[in-house]
Copies of this chain bind each other. A is one copy, B any other.
Amino acid sequence: MADARQYLAVDGLFEMVDGTLTTPTVAYETWGQLDKQASNAVLLFTGLSPSAHAASSDLDPSPGWWEYMIGPGRPIDTDRYFVLCANSLGSCFGSTGPASEDSVTGEPYRLSFPKLRLEDIATSAHLVARHLGIEQVHTVAGGSMGGMTALCYALLYPGRSRNLLAVSSATRSLPFAIAMRSLQREIVRDDPNWQDGTYSRETPPTNGMRLARKLGMITYRSAEEWAERFGRDAIRVEAAGDTSNSFDMRFEVEGYLEDRAIKFANGFDPNCYLYLSRAMDLFDAADHGGSVAMALASTGLERAQIIGATSDILFPPEQQIELADGLTGGGVDVQFELLDAVQGHDSFLIDAERFEPVVRRFF
């Protein structure tokens, strides 16, 4: 497949909140042209699992993870904006993470990779922006973990971003979301193949990853969507009179989860998953100002758009309201949009009909 990835090789040491990396790499993709004043950049952060491939391009025509949102004439219009998306530090799609080789030891980092925080992801993308000559971005944007990281960027670098677009994100994770992610991590770690992170390439903890991903997927969607998708009248696939006790899959929803989870488990490094998952739990906007309210009062943002989905159980509407109210209290001109989208936390990736016009209005 063609590759649109570019790479920033960081020279020397990269200081993280809880450690140091030596000469890490940050992978990124860009769309559109940076104007002469370098004033039209949209810095986009990703959710936990995607690469930097947010949209198709001539170099890589495969659809990106936010394809409907980014491109010529689309809400984030690449005829007007220069869009930059970095693969998260700690991930496994070109940026340095636990699966990468430590240039000092010549061995994969594994668990010697420093504890990862969203602050580190924000900082690594900031290096890319500066490398490209961007001192201030027009908008910092993202959904889910990407929305938290975008907020984190605004908190870490006051005045470096004029606008914020945060979709289905939060100032910090609720105990419910932490419990769900903690359990996913524990399931991976309890796979005997995990081997305290030292699993081989040949026998990674694929089974734990598969089960963890199923749990993740259940929380990313909503009960309403699944009731619609799988129907209320035909959810059983078992044949009548089947007395098997194998406890094999008998329901449509089980087969759906299995297929998708296997794909993910075969494509994502388990240690990277653990690090990124924990980074979401550790983020707390209050770390940047003594309290959430004080932090949100210090961004220097001009405008923000905060979007949530009514059916999101991981980052529910009240968290979007908290974020919108906090920024408003900090003097930011906030557009708050609560969309009646049925696909839960993942709605922003799927529900173009509802999200497209709203984001278009903001840009």
* A302-324, CB < 8 A from B: 313, 316
Task: Give A residues with C-beta under 8 Å from B.
Answer: 18-19, 111-115, 172, 174-180, 182-183, 185-187, 189-190, 192, 207, 211, 214-215, 218, 222-223, 226-227, 229-230, 232-233, 235-236, 241, 243-245, 247, 249-254, 257, 274, 278, 281-282, 284, 286, 313, 316
Cβ–Cβ contact A223 & B176, under 8 A: yes
Separation of A175 and B115 alpha carbons in the complex (Å): 37
**Given A243-B19, A286-B233, does the pair A254, B179 have CB atoms closer than 8 Å?**
yes
Cβ–Cβ contact B179 & A253, under 8 A: yes
Cβ–Cβ contact A236 & B175, under 8 A: no
**Inter-chain contacts of A249 with B (CB < 8 A):** 182
**Inter-chain contacts of A176 with B (CB < 8 A):** 218, 222-223, 226-227
Cβ–Cβ contact A247 & B175, under 8 A: no
Cβ–Cβ contact B115 & A227, under 8 A: no
Cβ–Cβ contact B236 & A282, under 8 A: yes
User: Which 4 A-B residue pairings sit nearest by Cβ, starting from the closest?
Assistant: A176-B223, A175-B226, A175-B253, A175-B230
Separation of A313 and B312 alpha carbons in the complex (Å): 12
**Given A183-B214, A215-B215, A235-B175, does the pair A245, B115 have CB atoms closer than 8 Å?**
yes
A/B interface sample: 17 pairs, CB < 8 A? A174-B223, A175-B229, A175-B230, A176-B223, A176-B227, A179-B214, A179-B218, A179-B251, A182-B249, A182-B254, A182-B257, A183-B214, A190-B211, A215-B215, A233-B286, A247-B278, A250-B281
Separation of A253 and B177 alpha carbons in the complex (Å): 10
Known contacts A175-B252, A186-B211, then 7 further A-B pairs from the complex at CB < 8 Å, ordered by chain A residue: A18-B241, A115-B245, A175-B251, A176-B227, A178-B254, A182-B251, A183-B218
Number of chain copies forming the complex: 2
A325 CB to nearest chain B CB (Å): 14
**Inter-chain contacts of A192 with B (CB < 8 A):** 192
Cβ–Cβ contact A175 & B227, under 8 A: yes
A251 CB to nearest chain B CB (Å): 5
A225 CB to nearest chain B CB (Å): 9
Q: Which residue of B lies closest to A180 (CB)?
A: B218
Cβ–Cβ contact A18 & B243, under 8 A: yes
**Given A175-B229, A186-B211, A211-B183, does the pair A284, B19 have CB atoms closer than 8 Å?**
no
**Inter-chain contacts of A254 with B (CB < 8 A):** 178-179, 182
Count chain B CB atoms within 10 A of each CB in A232, A257, A313 and give the residue with the most.
A232
**Inter-chain contacts of A284 with B (CB < 8 A):** 236
Cβ–Cβ contact A114 & B175, under 8 A: no
**Inter-chain contacts of A180 with B (CB < 8 A):** 218
**Inter-chain contacts of A226 with B (CB < 8 A):** 174-176, 179
Cβ–Cβ contact A113 & B251, under 8 A: no
Cβ–Cβ contact A227 & B313, under 8 A: no
A180 CB to nearest chain B CB (Å): 6
Separation of A203 and B355 alpha carbons in the complex (Å): 51
**Given A211-B183, A211-B187, A236-B282, does the pair A178, B251 have CB atoms closer than 8 Å?**
yes
**Given A211-B187, A214-B183, does the pair A245, B113 have CB atoms closer than 8 Å?**
yes
Q: Which residue of B lies closest to A114 (CB)?
A: B243
Cβ–Cβ contact B215 & A183, under 8 A: yes
Cβ–Cβ contact B183 & A253, under 8 A: no
Q: Which residue of B lies closest to A258 (CB)?
A: B186
